Structures are given as C-alpha cells and as structure tokens.
Amino acid sequence: MSHNPADRVQDLQNFGEYGGVNPSIADSSTFTYLKASTMQAVFEGEQEGCHLYSRHTNPSTNYLCEALAGMENTEAAYVTASGMGAITSCTLQICKTGDEIIASRTIYGGTYAFFKNFLPKLGIKVHFIDISKTEQIKALINQNTKMVYCETMSNPLLDIADLPSISKITKKANIKLVVDNTFTPMIFSPIELGADIVLHSLTKFINGASDAVGGVVCAEEEFITEMMDVNTGAGMLLGPVMDAIRAANILKNIKTLHIRMKQHSYNAQYISEKFEDEGIKVFYPGVKSHPHHQLMSQTYNEEFGFGGMLVLDVKTKENAYAFMEAMQNDNIGYLAVSLGFYKTLFSAPGSSTSSEIPPEEQDQMGLSEGMVRISIGLDNDIKRTFEKMKKCMKSVGII
C-alpha cells in the first residue's frame, strides 16, 4: 500500500450497479433476508458481510469509512452525523465514571465544552494542559488516565502538537492518544506519528462544500468493532449515525481533497508572507515566525503544505469587525464560522468559535480580541485577493 494518503484514497475502486463509476447509494434503513437463520447468525455476529439495519452498517457509509481509513492509514473507521458525534462517542467508548482524560486546552470550543461541562456529570475528570509541555502529561498520568486528547493543528492559534513525543509517553503508559486532525487532512498522518485514534469533522476541508455536517473515528478494527457492538457500543447505542445519501456525497468530494489542500496551503502561505511584510502579526505555521514552524516542517507531509488556516491579529475587536465587514462587502469571502470552503471564510474566534472558553482562560491561551481567523479559499489568483484584502485593511485604518 502507498505511503501517500492521497494515493490510498485514489486507489480505491468501488463500482455501482450497471458499471457506474461511483458506487450505488444504498438508500435503505433495513435489509431483507432470504432465510431467518441467516438473520439470526448476523445478529449474533457469526456471519459477516451482511447488512441488517443502517444505524449499524450501510454499504454507502461503509465506502466512506473505507476511504477515510485509507487516508488515515487505519484498519477501520466509523462515520458519524457530525464531528461532535465522533468526538463524544469515541470518548464515551473509552471512558467510564472515575476515569480521567488529559486534554490540550487549545481545542475546538465544542470539544472543550463537552469535556469541561458534560463529562463531569458522568464522573469523568478532564485535566486541561498546555500540550506542548510534555512533562505535564507525564506528571498527570495515573491509573485512572484513559486517554490524551489533542488536535494536530489547534484552533485558533494553529499550534502544532508534537505527536512523536506525546506518543512515547502514551505508549509507555498504555493509554490512548486521540487526535483531532480536522484542520490538516492529508497534511498530517497522525497514526504514523504515534497516535492511536484519529478523529475528523468531515464538515470542514474533507467535504469542502459547506453543504454537509459529518464526522469520523479512524482506528484499529478492534476499537471500531467495539463502537459498533449492538449491546455495548457508543456508536450503536448513542446513535450518531451518518445518513447513506450524505455519505455518498462526501465520498465524491474526498476524491479531490488532495488538490484542494495544496491550493488552500499555497494561498494561505502567500497571504501570510505578504501580511507579515506589511507588519501585521500573523499566525501561520508556514512562516518562520510561528513558534511551531520547525516542528511542523519535521512532521508534516510536505507536498500538501502548511494548511489553509491563518490568523491575522489586527489588535482590537473594532478593527477585526470592521476588517471582516469590509472583506465581505468586497466579496473576498464570507463572515462565517467553519472552514475548508472554496470561498474564504472568516470570523473573530474570541467572540465566536472559542466563545465557550471563559475570557480569563482565553487570555491565558494567548487569544486576543483583535484576531481574525481566516480559512482561505481556493482563489485562483491569490495575488489579486491579497491586494483586495490590503485595500480593506487600509479602508478601515489598520494599515
């Protein structure tokens, strides 16, 4: 099998009925059996390869699972109705009352809220740390610790997790390293860097069309089978299942992901370098000023670049708001949360995507009110986009 995540996705062949070049969509919630005894055997897990009911398995969701497992180089995958559906069900499969999690404090706002507000209700304790301080991980591990959780590239400061170092600790302690790779599909291969489980929100780059919500858990066959167990599986019992038609649509979009990631990265690199030259504070791991430029250079899959996300700090909230509105009026992109669209999307993380995080903690994390998080689009002429963005900054008095 190829070492390249794009090749592993491209090499899959699944034909549809009548020789269709795309697999047919299994638009059914339930499946019929010729023999009652076969149904019993499937229920009891004695016969494989048959579908029973689409909360459990469905051919269309399976094709998508196969593509995502291929991309992340895992044995199996489980697709869910949202990224949060993947994060919550995976966590609850691993942890029970009394268990502990060590999590990066710079994680997606929804994940942070789930860990901080929801898990304590179930008696699961989460320690939030600066994930770059690996000695803190070591110090916090005890016999109740079940997982370390982080994002390969964190939201919104684009910090990079040192997965090789973290995984040395988790492997030694025999606990799971769970990594959310939503910002950097194809760019990072967390399994090859020592992670045990890789999660994604498919809503972002992977689907890339801002028309669907979805998620995935990529892991060993054994873990995915556990999640789907009809008696004890968090996937099966909590029911965050993805719909077959959505799965078929997302599968088609994955086939162009490698090209899109390269273009997003090219555009983000260009904009970051140019704004740095203008004296604006830029957060982008592709520029040398980013604290993790070196680390990322050593661990990423170079051909896909440093990613499509960047942050410009324009100092005040008023500047940030005026700049975003000017960009929207000039049709540079849209003032919207989310990421990975063909069109540029921007938001102020402090008052939107990271608003679940209390102000004093935002301070500690290095979040400032003047930050504009930008998911750069697939713009054909990024030089023209930069000139337009610069004009917007001038028009609101930032430069």
Ligand X SMILES: *Cc1c(COP(=O)(O)O)cnc(C)c1O
Question: In the complex, which residues of this chain contact ligand X (CB under 6 A)?
Answer: 82-84, 108, 110-111, 151, 155, 180, 182-183, 201, 203-204, 213, 215
- Least CB distance from residue 78 to ligand X, whole Å? 14
Count of CA atoms in the C-beta half-sphere (13 A) of 88: 21
- Least CB distance from residue 215 to ligand X, whole Å? 5
| Distance separating alpha carbons of residues 126 and 149, to the nearest angstrom | 10
Tokens in use for 28?
Answer: 């059914």
Q: Quick one: DSSP state of residue 17?
A: G
Specify the residue, 204 or 258, whose C-beta has the smaller distance to ligand X.
204
Specify the residue, 199 or 295, whose C-beta has the smaller distance to ligand X.
199
Note whether 283 and 291 are within 8 A (CB).
Answer: no
Residue 251's identity, in one-letter code, is L
Specify the residue, 23 or 190, whose C-beta has the smaller distance to ligand X.
190
Tokens in use for 239?
Answer: 């029911």
Q: If you search the block for the tokens 């983000």, which residue do you land on? A: 268
- Least CB distance from residue 111 to ligand X, whole Å? 6
- Least CB distance from residue 71 to ligand X, whole Å? 16
Specify the residue, 309 or 326, whose C-beta has the smaller distance to ligand X.
309
Run of H or E residues at 176: strand 176-180
SS3 211: coil
Specify the residue, 213 or 398, whose C-beta has the smaller distance to ligand X.
213
Specify the residue, 190 or 215, whose C-beta has the smaller distance to ligand X.
215
Specify the residue, 5 or 215, whose C-beta has the smaller distance to ligand X.
215
Tokens in use for 231?
Answer: 């008696």
- Least CB distance from residue 288 to ligand X, whole Å? 25
Count of CA atoms in the C-beta half-sphere (13 A) of 256: 14
Specify the residue, 84 or 271, whose C-beta has the smaller distance to ligand X.
84
Note whether 103 and 126 are within 8 A (CB).
Answer: yes
Q: Quick one: DSSP state of residue 101?
A: E
| Distance separating alpha carbons of residues 84 and 108, to the nearest angstrom | 10
- Least CB distance from residue 155 to ligand X, whole Å? 5
- Least CB distance from residue 307 to ligand X, whole Å? 12
Run of H or E residues at 373: strand 371-375
- Least CB distance from residue 201 to ligand X, whole Å? 3
Specify the residue, 319 or 344, whose C-beta has the smaller distance to ligand X.
344
Exposure b/e, 142-152, CB count within 10 A at least 16 = b: eeebbbbbbbb
Specify the residue, 23 or 215, whose C-beta has the smaller distance to ligand X.
215
- Least CB distance from residue 258 to ligand X, whole Å? 20
List 215's β-bridge partners, or say none. 80, 201
- The C-alpha R_g of the chain, in whole angstroms, comes to 22
Tokens in use for 256?
Answer: 């162009």
Closest CA to 170 of 140, 199, 200, 198: 140
List 198's β-bridge partners, or say none. 179, 218
Residue nearest to ligand X (CB): 83
- Least CB distance from residue 108 to ligand X, whole Å? 4
Note whether 224 and 76 are within 8 A (CB).
Answer: yes
First and final C-alpha spacing in the chain = 51
